[in-house]
Amino acid sequence: MEKLALSDDILLKVDKPARYIGNEFNMVVKDKEHVAIRFVMCFPDVYEIGMSHLGIQILYDMMNKRDDVYCERVYSPWTDLHAIMKEKDIPLFALESQDPIKDFDFLGITIQYEMCYTNILQVLDLSKIPLLAKDRKDHDTIVIGGGPCATNPEPIADFFDMFYIGEGETSYDELFELTKEWKNMGYSRDEFLMKAANIPGIYVPKFYHPTYDENGLITSFDHDEGVPATIKRQVVSDLSLAPYPSKPLVPFIKATQDRVVLEIQRGCIRGCRFCQAGMIYRPNREKDIEVLKKNAYEMLTNTGHEEISLSSLSSSDYTDLEELVNFLIDNFKDKGVNISLPSLRIDAFSLDVMSKVQDIKKSSVTFAPEAGSQRMRNVINKGLTEEVILKGAGLAFEGGWNKVKLYFMLGLPTETKDDMRAIAILANEIAKEYYDIVPKEKRQGKCQITISTSFFVPKPFTPFQWEKMYTPEHYLDCAKTVNDAVSEQLNRKSIKYNWHHADVTVLEGVFARGDRRLSKVLLKAYESGCLFDSWTETFDMDKWLKAFESEGLTMEEYTLRERSEDEILPWDFIDCGVTKAFLLRERKNAYAETVTPNCRQQCSGCGSARYNGGVCFENKN
Amino acid sequence: MKIRIRFRKFSIMKYIGHLDILRYFQKCMRRAGIDISYSGGFSPHQIMSFAAPLGVGLTSDGEYLDIAVESSEASKVSVDKLNAVMVPGMEILSYRKLDDSEKNAMSVVACADYNVFLKDEYEKKCNTALDIDSLREKKKAFYDDAKEILVTKQTKKSEKVMDLKALVYEFEINENDGRIVYYIKLSTGSVDNVKPELFLKAFYDFMNIEFDENAYQIHRLDLYCMKDDRLISLSETGEEIE
């Protein structure tokens, strides 16, 4: 039997031992003695979530295509195993070789959401890697972070040796060549870090020094000699040529995303002003349809998955969507493969497709107007109008659907009570449409309109990056306003309303736009037991409040303050493609309630054209 | 066409539970290009059933699943194709065509046999003071010479008294590489299901020795059904496709 890091006793005691044994189909096995670099990729959440992440699958495949690199994986041990590993002093290990993490050259951590920050500390702690980068010695593992949250790495800067800012496909080869040179030449960790800091997209926090005034505002952000002042976010210019896995890993236990994921494009043409992904993944880049057909065929054959899902921020904007969907249906539907189409705009085409691939009686149609009133939707630049929503819903009702899901945000800039109440009114109008369109004898009971609201969190590199947030009490008041308005509607019995907790939103808001002073709060929070903060059963606001208090900081100074436009923001040293001038223009347009045309209608000069790819160059030769 | 597949589950695959093995095989069928039959409806599923689910922690040389296929290649080709898409710890042993009138494996299983032995990590700390000869002596008194062995089986709803003498067909104590191995062949299935650990616990109770279930590896050897009043291995049902 292959040697496992955990004993039989432990594996039979913990929940879902399959999380910790590896051995999945398509797992890469290499002789660790014959590789120059050992890399372990971490998603700091539980296995079922981490295994669902496309980015890791892409990087795992890309790195392992190199003969001199062996990339393995690690996820956060669930709380049951965490306790056992602490008690028995068992070091955290990688799934493939089952070797301790601290034997690796690199620990790469993908940082997808702010509420996983304490899990990062757990991984370092259980790996017995010094938590603070400054305490690491020459032969300690290099800890590198990446992913969307690395666009503001400052709150976690103290724990990382370096960050990779941008899309992973571009600069890793250069980093690996440098690493081999480092190992051969034997220069110090600092010399290596200094050289790495000059690779495009690599940010080494220890060479950059923010200073703060008495109010916690950044007064300067200096850097050591020999490193660039600005880090340029890395972007793949032609996605059709970028590596994509043909043999994704197939987990034994059901992962959140238990299907083939086909990335059809990156970025979005829409420019919703609240959406960080819509800004930082600019320009929108479509993948060639022939490449996608090949990817789909290979991945389904090599995994045996029973479902394929298209992945993108707005699938309906993909130019050849119709051809692609028909290809998938024609080639795979008869083989028992389900086709899942998230983020589709509801219209005649999408309803026709959905009626072919899913059971109308069980499924629902989804709209994400994000705001209830047209005024508010103009502020956030969400181009969806009430007319379009009602028409789409009407078509769906005629087609036999009677369930509609609606997604909104509360706490948006300039929001009034009328905007909140408009959410309930819109839901009522949709229900009215159902009762007007579908004759009594054809109805399958009432229609079911489900409203879900989340609270808006301003993110870096968006036109709303300067906006203030609110107190948890205010957020719950917003939800109450919507709830009261729902109960006043004629069709209230057809409407269900769900809202989120406000505490996590506030904490997410703190870290999204936080600065380096927060590292010590995080450390305190982890030491006091905070872990798996994105899970309601483990989130503990009191511990967080105490951690802030003990470090002399407050959440409010990060959330309740509107930033001034000339303030140095913690992430200003990163060049994300979109310029500050564009973001400021968009902010003014928001306040003027002016809609900005999408990238295909008209270029707004956001700055990302310099990446030389995608929508900026469509139809231009 | 009905097909019966025999497979082994060993090594670290013992940590994968039955439902996940079911999902695993659904994907294997697609990867191997087996022309499996699907049920109708909007979410069609493969026609597949298992003989007797194996618990987490157990290993086996005799696991069976039945599938329905639209068409099939030769047994040998199908075995090779399936083995090409297995993970370490899973191995396909046979692939045989069943007569259409044959009942599915789950309903015909009557008996299973097991080897039970101390796990490596328990061998030192758990080795009982008894050597093999004294164990065999105890066994003679407990099993061979007994007219009945009554135990109370606790179920969720009630208690049930079972006579293990009638339900355990064979019980031997062997030695393999200096390790004591219990061989137990007992009734399995929907009517009289006995688990090997229940029987061993009764034996240890009889000897007045504490029985630590976690210390023992239970390894299933094979599953059997009745044919012409005789127990035969499920692998002998059906026929090879040439």
The amino acid that residue A271 corresponds to is G
Confidence of residue B181 (pLDDT cuts 50, 70, 90): very high
Residues 335-374 of A with CB under 8 A from B: 335-336, 338, 358-359, 362
Sort out which chain A residues have CB atoms less than 8 A from B214's CB and list them.
9, 12
Sort out which chain B residues have CB atoms less than 8 A from A306's CB and list them.
26-27, 30
Domain residue ranges in chain A? 8-232, 239-358+576-621
Residue A424 near residue A372 (C-beta atoms within 8 A)? yes
Q: From CA A19, how far away is CA A14, in angstroms rounded?
A: 10
pLDDT above 70 (res A537): yes
Asked if residue B217 and residue B129 are part of one domain, the reply reads yes
Q: From CA A149, how far away is CA A130, in angstroms rounded?
A: 22
Sort out which chain A residues have CB atoms less than 8 A from B23's CB and list them.
252, 254
Which pair of structure tokens corresponds to residue A362? 């069980």
Q: From CA B99, how far away is CA A241, in angstroms rounded?
A: 52
Mean pLDDT, residues A178-204? 95
pLDDT above 80 (res A360): no
Q: Which residue has the tokens 């892409």?
A: A58
Question: For residue B127, what pLDDT is reported?
Answer: 56
Residue A527 forms contact with B (CB below 8 Å): no
- Identify the burial level of B18 via C-beta atoms within 10 angstroms of its C-beta, where 0-12 means exposed, 13-18 middle and 19 or more buried: middle
The amino acid that residue B240 corresponds to is E
In a domain, B92, yes or no: yes
DSSP, collapsed to helix, strand or coil, labels residue A186 as coil
ipTM: 0.94
The last residue of one of the domains, among B87, B107, B127, is B107
Q: From CA B95, how far away is CA B6, in angstroms rounded?
A: 7
- Identify the burial level of A50 via C-beta atoms within 10 angstroms of its C-beta, where 0-12 means exposed, 13-18 middle and 19 or more buried: buried
Question: For residue A442, what pLDDT is reported?
Answer: 87
The partner residue sitting opposite B20, judged by closest CB among A11, A252, A306, is: A252
Sort out which chain B residues have CB atoms less than 8 A from A362's CB and list them.
42
Question: For residue B125, what pLDDT is reported?
Answer: 60
Question: For residue A186, what pLDDT is reported?
Answer: 84
Give the percent of chain A with pLDDT over 90. Answer: 90
The partner residue sitting opposite B43, judged by closest CB among A1, A21, A338, is: A338
Residue A345 main-chain phi, psi, to 5 deg: -75, 135
Residue A12 forms contact with B (CB below 8 Å): yes
Instruction: Please count the residues of chain B.
Output: 242
With b for 16 or more beta-carbon neighbours within 10 A and e for fewer, the B216-227 pattern comes to bbbbbbbbbbee
Q: Do B30 and A335 touch (CB under 8 A)?
A: yes
Domain A239-358+576-621 has CATH 3.30.750.210: yes
Q: From CA A303, how far away is CA A247, in angstroms rounded?
A: 7
In a domain, B10, yes or no: yes
How far is residue A354 CA from its own chain's centroid? 26
Residue A20 near residue A7 (C-beta atoms within 8 A)? no
Asked if residue B88 and residue B27 are part of one domain, the reply reads yes
Confidence of residue A3 (pLDDT cuts 50, 70, 90): confident
The last residue of one of the domains, among B58, B80, B107, is B107
Instruction: Decide the pairing of beta strands A285-286 and A265-266.
Output: antiparallel
Residue A78 near residue A15 (C-beta atoms within 8 A)? yes
Q: What is the DSSP string of A492-508?
A: GGGEEEEE--SHHHHHH
DSSP, collapsed to helix, strand or coil, labels residue B223 as strand
Asked if residue B97 and residue B142 are part of one domain, the reply reads no
Mean pLDDT, residues B168-182? 93
Helices (H), B39-74: none
Q: Which CATH number is B82's domain given?
A: 3.30.70.580
pLDDT above 80 (res A343): no
Q: Do A4 and B85 touch (CB under 8 A)?
A: no
Q: pLDDT averaged over chain A?
A: 95
Confidence of residue A500 (pLDDT cuts 50, 70, 90): confident
Residue B50 near residue B220 (C-beta atoms within 8 A)? no
In a domain, B190, yes or no: yes
Q: Encode pLDDT of A199-255 as tens digits.
A: 999 999 999 999 999 999 999 999 999 999 999 999 999 999 999 999 999 999 999
Residue A472 near residue A506 (C-beta atoms within 8 A)? yes
pLDDT above 60 (res B126): no
Handedness of CA B189, B190, B191, B196 (dihedral sign): positive
Asked if residue B138 and residue B184 are part of one domain, the reply reads yes
- Identify the burial level of B37 via C-beta atoms within 10 angstroms of its C-beta, where 0-12 means exposed, 13-18 middle and 19 or more buried: middle
Q: Do A25 and B87 touch (CB under 8 A)?
A: yes
Least confidently predicted of A596-605, B28-37, B156-165: B156-165
Q: From CA A239, how far away is CA A169, in angstroms rounded?
A: 10
Mean pLDDT, residues A270-297? 97
In a domain, B235, yes or no: no
**A580 vs A230, A587, B47, CA distance in Å?**
14, 10, 58
Which pair of structure tokens corresponds to residue B65? 């699943």
Q: Domain count for chain B, please give it.
A: 2
The last residue of one of the domains, among B107, B130, B155, is B107
Sort out which chain B residues have CB atoms less than 8 A from A17's CB and list them.
15, 56
pLDDT above 90 (res B159): no
Q: Which of B9, B12, B45, B218 to mutate to test the interface with A (most CBs of A within 10 A)?
A: B12
Asked if residue B219 and residue B119 are part of one domain, the reply reads yes
Asked if residue B113 and residue B69 are part of one domain, the reply reads no
pLDDT above 80 (res A362): no
Q: From CA A393, how far away is CA A347, in angstroms rounded?
A: 9
Q: From CA A120, how far away is CA A156, in angstroms rounded?
A: 9
Asked if residue B133 and residue B216 are part of one domain, the reply reads yes
pLDDT above 70 (res A139): yes
Q: Do A303 and B31 touch (CB under 8 A)?
A: yes
pLDDT above 50 (res A1): no
Instruction: Decide the pairing of beta strands A338-340 and A307-311.
Output: parallel
Confidence of residue B123 (pLDDT cuts 50, 70, 90): confident
Sort out which chain A residues have CB atoms less than 8 A from B42's CB and list them.
358-359, 362
Q: Which CATH number is B181's domain given?
A: 3.30.70
Instruction: Decide the pairing of beta strands A142-146 and A162-164.
Output: parallel
Helices (H), A560-612: 580-591
Closest residue in B to A5 (Cα) is B12
Asked if residue B201 and residue B96 are part of one domain, the reply reads no
DSSP, collapsed to helix, strand or coil, labels residue B72 as coil
> Which residues constitute the domain of residue B158?
109-230
Asked if residue B206 and residue B177 are part of one domain, the reply reads yes
Q: From CA A134, how far away is CA A523, in angstroms rounded?
A: 14
Mean pLDDT, residues A376-381? 97
Instruction: Please count the residues of chain A.
Output: 621
Q: A365 CA to chain B: closest CA distance, Å? A: 17
Q: From CA B202, how far away is CA B168, in angstroms rounded?
A: 12
Q: Encode pLDDT of B202-233 as tens digits.
A: 999 999 998 998 999 999 999 999 999 999 99
Closest residue in B to A301 (Cα) is B31
Domain A8-232 class in CATH: alpha beta
Confidence of residue A117 (pLDDT cuts 50, 70, 90): very high
Residue A412 main-chain phi, psi, to 5 deg: -75, 155
Mean pLDDT, residues A471-487? 97
Asked if residue B91 and residue B151 are part of one domain, the reply reads no
Q: pLDDT averaged over chain B?
A: 92
Asked if residue B215 and residue B156 are part of one domain, the reply reads yes
Question: Which DSSP category does B99 fall into?
Answer: P
Question: For residue A21, what pLDDT is reported?
Answer: 97
Asked if residue B119 and residue B100 are part of one domain, the reply reads no
Closest residue in B to A6 (Cα) is B12
A411 — alpha (psi -120 to 50), left (phi > 0) or beta? left
